[in-house]
Structure 1
């Protein structure tokens, strides 16, 4: 969501910048755009690191923040899900290559356009020893429909009319309309299954440091010391031998300061961490450990949140994107790790598409090269010279600073007036959930990642009236295609429709795409085995780590 992932209530998918991932920095006004400095760093994408030599008693992992909650209904951010993914499991499993495979549902079927039937895996036990039943599945899923819960994942369930046990180990979900995206969303937190007894016993304390959780994953949650750490211990009765945990214990320590995080890793006090502060990568690469770069589904965007002002004219949106030195922003904000993007998705979520369709989705896109003079002409043509835009930002990461300052400088360079409105991190998070928080704000930054292997997750939220369509953008052709795609079961046919949506979004720019950067992870000299991928938010990644 800030993809901190903001507490975007009622929306599908993953979103925001890695809020707090690089620590809080004071933002100051600036009129100079960042310049590309030096040569972009060289890096290679890695799908899997070295196989462990054996098990390990324990390892320690750094996370930039304490989880907001480990209740799966509210687990909507990096800090929450990177821990929960090792403890709780979903009906489907989202793998490191962003494919879906059976999870707690050993099979599923779509016998009619509006029904999904899940056969629940037998022989699975919760951490307290109780067997997994269909009743647990029904109770877990129905929480997303309960207004009193207020699930952050309600949008996955927005078309669901009933969730019923239809056999000893069978659950049937009925939707009001054909919804291909419902099943796609069950590989993430929206598909997590918890013990019905544990939910009832914990009540309002479920998922916090007092109530904890009771799930089926390769680790169980054994301790949560507020403000300090969370400890997981290996669950010896885990059902899947291929993901039996190699570590007896994992301790997550909360280190909000990026310098402290890097120092803890280089000293060996901490064995690893995700989402590395980019200025610390060279330091980590000089240790006996390993920095890896992996698959991402995230795109850094400027969300256009006000179409009543100058940005309501597509010519102004195009001009602003052309005025932005996106290569310079990537260099200054992300250390040059990544590439400029002209699309709102990455190829990694087009797994259901043929090679030809995937290639077409990313070809022929308008590139919006850095051209201030051409951008000025568009502003003059739109009659927008002298009009004002406001960019919201917060002291979250260096990238926020770079993007906000570069956007103001770019706007001024083409004849617009522009100013930065700096708010607190919590107020920034509210931009994603509270329309009143966006009043008077024309643009804000996000790192929007997808939680399912389907680009339609991105485009569906840009339909007219959708919760996460923050600027109220509306395009009748886009709406018609997106709605048709949601109801299309065949992955290739759906991808062809998404291809058209990607090109419309590229032309109309409801959000301004900036760049995409790889997922980063560090493993110290004691450990190895992780698959570098943004799927760490939903896949039990810690189970694969053992002794180097």
Structure 2
């Protein structure tokens, strides 16, 4: 039984505890970042969560063997060095003393397995298209990993900076299908460790005291999903959230006008496009696909979707990759100018001169809603009706990755290296046309796969010529319609700064308290 005289003491103790907590919270807030995401991270394993909201968490927790510098150059990470004794062989040497956040050592076996699992069809890795050139991965010494390629490929090292996330072999073998899920989680050797992961309550990361590299400036990162773009903007404006990378270029003016928030734009390694499922109904006809390409007003889409922070795409590669490859002298390839009469003329050459109707699911919570509506309006002018069916984001993404009901889809994919070999196999290889791959058009041939091999194998001018040949085939056959390039942006409370740009892989670790 509680006595009356005890009540004031309990109340006083509670008050003192609350006061202490409030005092502590001011200090904690200085090195705690509250980061807002527009979509829910579905997995902390790149094999099953190769998407922006998931990878932003993964790269703060999971080390890769190598990383990228500010100019896109490949730099050491968990591998302190490597050699390239012949065109098919890479030999990596692990740093000494690297540990997972639970204190267990990162071994050569862990590192070798972490790469080889992506080529295992049983894993059904979404990163599989990044490592199709890998033939064998072996731990050849206590700190040595040897990678043997099936063919020379210039993209192996830069894509390893993304796909070769190191996880414990024992944990990954025990959970081939659900590693990275909220139920299983993950274990890494990166700057942060996972304190909480929930699809409904978000993700909390804490500084990893065992990290081998420089001590992270932040002690804690709390990631929360705010799917509505206006609600997200208001959260950053009010200070409920400290920052986000999910600034829609079309709403740039709303963000740049915020007080106490710095919005920084930089060139995105992205390509926005329509994918046309070449194995489905009318879309099998190349004249239909060319008609669609002529009918879409891409210049209007640039204005609608980039808010002055973008440009029209004529070639099927991200702008930074085109610049890295060609400089200012991009090849002159066939393009499809907005021309309704030319679109009608192409459609007249097809088996569907009077048009047709296609059921078209789209992401009702994504950034492309207005663009899909605009595309549907454009195509209606030539007799093609898109029956737009809105789906919740999670359902839409799952359905798209399962390659269900693809027909006409819009995607805006972001990449992370200056190498076109990151993109072209991802979107054009037959391997990537399978479920969990990103070849949503389904376009692919043995001959094209061989050309993609040349893209990876060759160097210098012959490589330029090989890439130009692939781009010319895309322009001719139109499995995809390039739409636009846009800039990306970070919006950050002025209490924080960020040192990041086009090639930054670990965004969260690039944030630090202002003045630190």
TM-score exceeds 0.5: yes
| 1:295-314 map, 5 Å | 295-307=267-279, 309-314=281-286
Match of 1:265 in 2: 236
- Show CA shifts across 1:33-92 (max 9, x none): xxxxxxxxxxxxxxxxxxxxxx94212111123311112322311111111111111111
For residue 401 of structure 1, what is the aligned residue in structure 2? 369
**Structure of higher RCO (CA pairs closer than 8 Å, 6+ residues apart):** 1
Residues 477/250 of structure 1: CA separation in 2 closer, same or farther (3 Å cut) = same
Aligned with 1:86: secondary structure? helix
Deviation at 1:168, TM superposition (A): 2.2
Aligned residue for 2:486? 517
- Residue 422 and residue 350 in structure 1: after superposition, are their counterparts in 2 closer, same or farther (change >3 A)? same
CA distance in 1, matches of 2:398, 2:174: 31
Determine helix, strand or coil for the equivalent of 2:56: helix
The alpha-carbon distance between structure 1 residues 493 and 169, as it changes in their structure 2 partners (threshold 3 A), is farther
Partner of 2:463: 494
Shift in CA distance, 138/262, structure 1 to aligned 2, threshold 3 Å: same
CA apart distance, 1:93: 0.5
Q: CA deviation at 1:457?
A: 2.8
CA distance in 1, matches of 2:167, 2:449: 36
Secondary structure of the equivalent of 1:193? coil
Structure 1 unaligned regions, length at least 5: 1-54
Q: TM-score, normalised by structure 1?
A: 0.79
Matching of residue 290 in structure 1 with residue 262 in structure 2:
yes
Following the alignment from structure 2 to structure 1, what is the Cα–Cα distance between the partners of residues 100 and 367?
41
CA apart distance, 1:235? 2.6
Identify the residue that residue 310 of structure 2 maps to in structure 1: 338
Deviations, residues 359-415 of structure 1 (Å, cap 9, x unaligned) = 34x341334322222322332344642131425232434643323322232223124
Distance 1:399 1:310 in 2: 27
Tell me, what secondary structure is at the counterpart of 2:328?
Answer: helix
Matches within 5 A, 1:67-146: 67-146=41-120
SS of 1:131's partner is coil
More moved, 126-135 vs 413-422: 413-422
Gaps of 5+ in 2: 1-28
Inter-partner Cα distance in structure 2 for 1:338 and 1:95: 24
Tell me how far 1:225 sits from its aligned partner.
Answer: 4.7
**Considering only aligned residues, what root-mean-square deviation do their CA atoms show, in Å?**
3.0
Tell me if 1:193 matches 2:159. Answer: no
Residue 453 in structure 1 maps to residue 425 in structure 2: no
Change (3 A) 1:205 1:410: closer
Aligned pairs (5 A) from 1:460-539: 460=425, 461-463=427-429, 466-467=432-433, 468-474=438-444, 478-488=448-458, 490=459, 493-533=462-502, 535=503, 538-539=505-506
Query: In terms of mean alpha carbon deviation, does 309-318 or 521-530 score higher?
Result: 309-318
* SS, match of residue 101 in structure 2: coil
Moved more, 248-257 or 173-182: 173-182
Structure number, greater radius of gyration: 2
CA separation of 1:279/1:204 partners in 2, compared to 1, >3 Å: closer, same or farther?
Answer: closer
Q: 1:106 to 1:351 in 2, by over 3 A?
A: farther
Q: 1:210 to 1:479 in 2, by over 3 A?
A: closer
Residue 62 (structure 1) aligns with = 36
Higher helix share: 2
Deviations 1:187-229 (A, max 9, x none): 11x2011234554688876423344332121222223355223
Aligned residues of 1:234 and 1:249 also touching (Cα < 8 A): yes
SS at match of 1:192: coil
1:542 correspondence with 2:509: yes
Contact 2:68 2:158 in 1 (8 A): no
Distance 1:306 1:147 in 2: 25
Cα distance in structure 1, aligned partners of 2:130 and 2:38:
28
What SS class does the counterpart of residue 370 from structure 2 fall into?
helix
- 1:388 corresponds to 2:356: yes
Is the aligned partner of 1:365 residue 2:333? yes
